[in-house]
Homo-oligomer: A and B are copies of this chain.
């Protein structure tokens, strides 16, 4: 029993003639005669009563075509499903992102992605950065969005953007008077570590790239903050800095979303490499990336644009 056999039987039943059916099936009559006989033999029943012309279905034949029709139905459905996936009209991807990042990433990316690939559904897995890489290995997610570099060297990444990380001071901070600070976007004035010698630094958790890279810089510069405060959330750090508790090192992405009344004064940390952190799409080395995942990557890259400037200095 093969799909071909079913199609042959259905066509003969439809035409009530082996010769005519053979024509429609683009095979010869003897070949079709043999096929029908072979099918009947293998099933142990006659499907057609040849003692009449035009030939007629037996009871077994009627039952056969009823069930066979269902089979071809599902076979067609199967092919359609696969074709839709091949053409990216249907698919599903799962991606991980930190709770902090999702707020800025998805509103920027998903509308364009859904517009271009309406059939592809996206599952979002939100967790702390530390857990995302693990989720890749368990297969819970196809990839994740993270600040590079990745910790696990079984992983690799595609760079999608660089975002500046800035020192934020309270609007009332005395240091502001020393600089012509811009409080919003675009070019920020530079500030040096020396100037921040007496400040309380508001740190993120130790496993965040933002903190890792900042403290590595401090070590290289033999700089020790006067005091330290540790919080989980970058937005909390920002808010504390704006209220004058200390200084924080935050991504520029949070500024546009922040109510202007609650913004601080922003500075680029002088001579600091990590003032530009790299955002990447992270996945397993040698991972199979479905067409849908690659489609998502391409949409993300188009939206973020080719990262400008040299990053590896």
**Nearest opposing residue in chain B for A78, CB measure:** B67
Residues of B within 8 A of A110 (CB): none
Tell whether A81 pairs with B63 under 8 Å between CB atoms, given A43-B86, A44-B86, A284-B51: yes
Is A68 touching B63 in the complex (CB atoms < 8 A)?
A: no
CA distance A56 to B139 in the complex (A): 9
CA distance A44 to B70 in the complex (A): 24
Is A92 touching B51 in the complex (CB atoms < 8 A)?
A: no
Among candidates B56, B83, B90, B288, residue contacting A46 with C-beta atoms closer than 8 Å? B288
Q: What band does the interface of chain A fall in when counting residues whose beta carbon is under 8 Å from B?
A: 35 or more
Is B288 touching A1 in the complex (CB atoms < 8 A)?
A: no
Is A77 touching B86 in the complex (CB atoms < 8 A)?
A: no
Is B67 touching A85 in the complex (CB atoms < 8 A)?
A: no
Is B64 touching A82 in the complex (CB atoms < 8 A)?
A: yes
Chain multiplicity (copies): 2
Among candidates B2, B67, B68, B91, residue contacting A3 with C-beta atoms closer than 8 Å? B2
Q: Tell me if A75 is interfacial: C-beta within 8 Å of chain B.
A: yes
* Closest-CB distance, A8 to chain B (whole angstroms): 14
Q: Tell me if A290 is interfacial: C-beta within 8 Å of chain B.
A: yes
Q: Tell me if A74 is interfacial: C-beta within 8 Å of chain B.
A: yes
Chain A 26-61 per-residue mask, 1 if CB under 8 angstroms from chain B, else 0: 000000000000000001111001111000101110
Q: Tell me if A292 is interfacial: C-beta within 8 Å of chain B.
A: yes
Q: Tell me if A286 is interfacial: C-beta within 8 Å of chain B.
A: yes
* Closest-CB distance, A70 to chain B (whole angstroms): 5
* Closest-CB distance, A110 to chain B (whole angstroms): 18
Q: Tell me if A287 is interfacial: C-beta within 8 Å of chain B.
A: yes
Among candidates B63, B67, B82, residue contacting A63 with C-beta atoms closer than 8 Å? B82
Q: Tell me if A231 is interfacial: C-beta within 8 Å of chain B.
A: no
Residues of B within 8 A of A60 (CB): 81-82, 85-86, 91, 290
7 more contacts with CB within 8 A, not counting A52-B284, A60-B85, are: A1-B3, A1-B79, A44-B83, A50-B288, A67-B78, A67-B81, A70-B74
Closest 4 CB pairs of A and B: A44-B86, A43-B82, A49-B288, A67-B78
